[in-house]
Amino acid sequence: MHVSLAHAPRRLAEGWQCVSTPAGSCATPASLDAFTQWLDAPVPGTIASALRAHGVGDEALAQPFAHADHWYRVKLNGIDKRRLRFNGLATIAEVWLDDRKLLDSDSMFVAHDVDVDLHGEHTLHLCFRSIAPALAAKRGRARWRPKLAQPATLRNVRTTLLGHMSGWCPAIQPAGPWRAVELIGESRECIDEIDMRTRVDGRDGILDVTVRFFHAQESAPVEIECGETKGALQWQDAHTLTGQLRIADVRMWYPHTHGEPSRYAVKLGDITLGEIGFRTIEVDRGAENAGFQLVVNGVPVFARGACWTSADIVSLDAPREKLESLFALIRDAGFNIIRVSGITLYESDTFYELADRYGVLVWQDFAFANFDYPDDEAFRRSVQREAAQFLARTRRFASLAVLCGGSEVHQQAAMLGLPFDAYQQRLFTELFPGAIAAARPDVAYVVNSPSAAPGDTVSMPFGTQGGITHYYGVPAYQRSFDDVRRAQVRFASECLAFANVPDDVALRALPNARAHEPRWKAGVPRDPGSAWDFDDVREYYLQSLYRLDVPRLRYEDPERYLTLSRAVVADVIAAVFSEWRRAGSTCAGGIVWNLLDVRPGAGWGVIDVLGAPKSALHGLARVLQPVQALVLDEGLNGLDVHLVNESAREIRARVELTCLREGAVKVAGGASDVVLAPRSVQRVSSNALLGAFFDITYAYRFGPPAHDATHVVLRDADTGDVLSEAFHFPDPSIGERRDIGLSVAVEKQDDEWSLVIETQQLARWVHVVDPNYHARIDWFHLAPGSQRRIPLVARHANESSAPEGDVCAINALRSAPYRAS
C-alpha cells in the first residue's frame, strides 16, 4: 500500500531483537529470562538475516533453522484500539502481547490481523516453533514420495521448499517474520485496506475502488481521480468508501516488447492509492486445443523470460533497489515474462509494482510443487485463505497474467507410473479455479506446470507436442539441435537449464575454487538422485559444438575452459530461441530456468549472486529483442533469415547478407528491401538474397569450405541504422586463435564510462573483463571493420575507480587492454 504516512499503517521495523532456543524449551515469554544473547534483528527478515547482519557468513547460515525455536520481541507503545497485521510468519508461529497469546499460525503464506487494546507500553513477542512436530503428524498417506525436497512430510506444512532442496539451493531454512509487521490505527485517517479492480469494456477502462478506514470517518463526499478522469466515491458505512470510475479511450497496458506498459495514478482526494493498468488476457490454444499462446489486448505474444527464485535467499525480502536493478536487466534482455515457481513463495507488492512499471508479465505458481498434498478440510481451508489473500493483494496489478496450480505435481506422479486419474488433486481442479473466478477472472489459469492440454487424459503431462511442457531435450538430456524442431514445443514454462559460469568477479566468491574440485561442485546444481550434474550438460555441448577434449582443456588451461564454457551456453540458447521464434514455429513461449543464482558458483541463474548478468543473459538478449533478425541452418536449403517485428508499426528495412572467409574477406553477399508488417514474422531465404548457388551451410561439401561465417544485418531503410544483427558459423568449432585486430578506447560523458570497441576481422563472443565494472552489452559478435559503443555499469554503488580491464574475443590471440586516464 503506497499512501502518505498520515494514512498508511506504520511498519514495525525498528527495535526488534531475536534469540534462538532449543525446540520446546520456552512455553511462554516469561520462560525467556534464562536467555540473554538477544540480537538486534531486521524485520521483515529471518533468523538467518539477523545472523548475517551480525557478520555470520553464508556457509554458516546453511542451517536447519526451522527445527529450532526462535523468539522476536519489540516494545509497543500506544493508547486505544489498534490492529496488528502480520503479513507473513515463517512458519509455525505464535504472537504474544505481554503474557497473553493472541495468535497461532501454521502457514507462512497467510496474513493475520489481530485487534488489540493498548494501555501504554507493551512487549510484543513472536515465537517461531520448530516444524518437527508438524512434519511428524499423520495427515493421510501420500500416493508418491518425490526426491525434490526432504522430508516427504513437507507436503503437510505450508512453508516454502527453499532451504529444503538438496542440490538445488543452500540449506538456509526460513524462520521469522519474513514479511512486514504493521500497526494500524495510530491516526484517525489511517487506511486499513485498499481494493482496486480493473477491467476493459470496449474502448473504456472500468476501475472499481473500495477503501476501508480503521476508524469511523465523517461521511463527506470524496473525489476519486484516475489520470485525468474524476468521479466520486460513496460511503457504504462509516468506515468504507466504494465506487466505480469509467476512463474513456483508455490507454492499454502492454508488455514492453509489444507496446507501452501504460499506467494510471489513482488518488483519493489528496491520498495517492497507487498505479493501475488496463489490459485483457486471453489464451489461444489453436485449432486442435493443444497450444498455449498468451494474447494481450488482442495481440498474440511470444512470451520469453526466466523463472524466479528469490532475490535474497537469506531474508526472502529483497530491497526495492535490488529488485529494480533486476527488472532493468530483465527488460534490457528482451524478456517479457517472469515465472514465480511453486518451489518458492509469493513475491512482495514491490515485485509486482516493478513488473507493472517495466512491462513484464508474471506467471505465478501457487506455492505447491511435486507432492501429493493432503485433502482434509483443515488443509483445504488454509489453502483457500492463502489463495484468497494473495489474489486480493495482487488484484490491482496488470502484470499478473497466468496463475498456475503448482510445479511438477503431475509430472512427478506420471514419471512414477501413476495413471492420469491418480494425480488429479482437488486443489488444482476445483479450489484454485473457483478462487480465481471469484477474484481474478481476468487472469489465465494453468492446472500445473507442466501439464497436458485441457481434455487430454492420454498424453504425458510433460509431453512436448501439446499443453505446457518443461523442455530439457536441449540441454539437460543432451539432444541435438534437431530435437528442438522435432519436439514441436507449444509452450515451455521451464527450459534451458545450464550450470552457467559467472564472470571472474563472482567466481572469487568461491574461496580458491577451481573448476571440478569439491568447492566448485558445491555450487553446481543437480537433480536429486542423478548421477550427473549441470556441469556435465554444459561440457557435452563444449565437446559436441566446439569439438574440444574438455577434461584436458579443464586441467591444462582452466581460464580458457571457463571462457569457452561461458560462450557455448550463449551459442546453445541462441540456437534454441531462434528456432522457437522463427516463422512457422509451433512454440509460443519459453521460460528459462533460472533468472537468479542463489549461491556463488556456476548455478542455473543467468544473473549471478552479485547481481551481474552472465553470458547466458547476454546471449538471450541477442535473440529476444522486439525487432530481431534470426538465422537458421536449413541444411541443403541454405540459411533462412527470419525477421521479427513485434511492434505496432510498419518498418521499412533492408536485409543484408555477407559471407566471410578468414573473418574479413567477402566471398558472397546480397541484399533486399523488405517491409516488416506490424506484429509479424517473415522468412527470407539466403538463396533469394544471394541470387545464385552458394554452399552457405557447407552442406554439399564440394571441396573445402569457401567461408567461415555469415553476417546478416537488418537496417532501417530510411536512416540506415542497424536494427538487428545475426551470425552463422558453418563450423561452430573455435579452431586456432589469431590476431584479429581487436582494439578498444575508453570514453567518459556525463560521469558515464563507455568502451568503443573495433575489430579488423570478425570477433566471436566479444566480452569485457573488468573488476569494477561490467558491460551493459556483452558477449556479442562484432563484424569486421565495425565499431560498437558499450556502456559500463559500476559493480558497486559510488564506485570511484576508473575502468581498467581487457576486451576479449574467443577467437582472438590476444585481448585488448584498456585503462582510463
Helix/strand/coil for 234: strand
Report CA-CA distances (Å) from 815 to 741, 760, 780.
10, 14, 15
Q: Which residues pair with 808 in a beta bridge?
A: 767
SS3 state at 28: coil
Q: What is the pLDDT of residues 276-294, one digit of tens each?
A: 999 999 999 999 999 999 9
Pairing of the two strands 191-201 and 204-213? antiparallel
pLDDT tens digit sequence for 347-404? 999 999 999 999 999 999 999 999 999 999 999 999 999 999 999 999 999 999 999 9
- The fold of 10-184 is Jelly Rolls (2.60.120)
Share of residues in the chain with pLDDT > 90 (%): 92
Q: Does residue 6 surpass a pLDDT of 70?
A: no
Residue 705, all three cell numbers: 569450405
Give phi and psi for 754, each to the nearest 5. Answer: -140, 155
User: Using 50, 70 and 90 to split pLDDT, how confident is the model at 510?
Assistant: confident
Superfamily of domain 191-276: Immunoglobulins (2.60.40.10)
Pick one of 3.20.20.80, 3.40.50.10800, 3.40.1050.10, 1.25.40.10 as the CATH number of 281-621.
3.20.20.80
Domain parsing of the chain, residue ranges? 10-184, 191-276, 281-621, 627-728, 743-819
Rounded-to-integer distance, Cα 706 and Cα 163, Å: 54
pLDDT tier for residue 759 given thresholds of 50, 70 and 90: very high
Q: Are 170 and 82 in contact (CB under 8 A)?
A: no
Three cell numbers written together for 137: 503428524
pTM of the model: 0.97
Task: Choose the CATH number for 627-728 among 3.30.70.20, 1.20.58.340, 2.60.40.10, 2.60.40.420.
Answer: 2.60.40.10
Q: Which CATH number fits domain 743-819: 3.40.1130.10, 2.60.40.10, 2.40.10.10, 3.30.70.100?
A: 2.60.40.10
Do the Cβ atoms of 17 and 40 come closer than 8 Å? yes
Whether the bond into 255 is cis, omega within 30 of 0: no
Pairing outcome for strands 400-404 and 444-446 = parallel
For 356, how many CA atoms within 13 A lie in the half-sphere containing its CB?
23
- Dump the DSSP string for 478-546: ---THHHHHTT-S-EEEE--------HHHHTTSTT--TTSHHHHTTS---TT-S--HHHHHHHHHHHHH
- pLDDT for 3: 63
Residue pLDDT, tens place only, 278-335: 999 999 999 999 999 999 999 999 999 999 999 999 999 999 999 999 999 999 999 9
Give the Å distances, CA to CA, from 716 to 138, 238, 722, 783: 67, 61, 6, 18
Q: What is the DSSP letter of 9?
A: P
E strands present in 2-145: 10-11, 17-21, 39-40, 69-86, 92-97, 100-105, 112-129
Question: Could you tell me where the DSSP H helices lie in 8-101?
Answer: 47-53, 58-61
Q: Are 791 and 776 in contact (CB under 8 A)?
A: yes
The confidence band for 220, taking pLDDT boundaries of 50, 70 and 90, is: confident
pLDDT for the residue numbered 522: 87
Least confident span in 105-114, 141-150, 388-397, 585-594: 141-150
Q: Residue 450, preceding bond cis, omega within 30 degrees?
A: yes
pLDDT tens per residue across span 688-736: 999 999 999 999 999 999 999 999 999 999 999 999 999 999 999 988 8
pLDDT in tens, 112-140: 999 999 999 999 999 999 999 999 998 88
Can you tell me the distance from the alpha carbon of 200 to that of 276, in angstroms, rounded to the nearest whole number?
A: 12
Nearest alpha-carbon partner for 188 in 214, 220, 223, 222: 214
Instruction: DSSP letter for 636, please.
Output: G
Angle at 436 between CA 85 and CA 403, to 5 degrees: 90
At a CB cut-off of 8 Å and minimum separation 6, what does 741 contact? 758, 759, 760, 761
Radius of gyration of the chain (CA): 28
pLDDT computed for residue 2 by the predictor: 55
Distance from C-alpha of 792 to C-alpha of 805, rounded to nearest angstrom = 12
How does DSSP classify residue 628? E
Distance CA 242, CA 222 (A): 10
**Which among 265, 115, 273 is positioned nearest to 191, based on CA atoms?**
273
* CATH fold match for the domains 191-276 and 743-819: yes
Check: CB of residue 145 under 8 Å from CB of residue 162: no
